[in-house]
Amino acid sequence: MNIKEYLKQAFYLDKMINSMLELAETLDKLLTKATVIFSYIPSNTSIIFKHEELICKILHL
């Protein structure tokens, strides 16, 4: 393997690593947005509990 092929391979691997890091960052942001905090402390908002019950039903399917 000559220097040109070695550098070409290194450049390709660098691009692949950067693309995987960007994908990991994007997935982390999506997971952070989708994180829901469930609380067993009653509150005055029944809408939250309706959404919580709906999500639980979907997850149990």
pTM here is 0.50
Whether 16 shows a pLDDT value over 70: the answer reads yes
12 or 30: which leads in pLDDT: 12
Amino acid 29: pLDDT: 81
Residue 55 CA to residue 46 CA, distance in Å, equals 14
Assess contact for 36 and 48: CB atoms under 8 A.
no
Three-state DSSP string of 2-58: CHHHHHHHHHHHHHHHHHHHHHHHHHHHHHHHHCCCCCCCCCCCHHHHHHHHHHHHH
Each residue's pLDDT tens digit, 21-57: 998 888 888 777 666 666 666 655 555 566 677 777 7
Amino acid 15: pLDDT: 94
Please state the domain count of the chain: 1
The domain of 55 spans 3-60
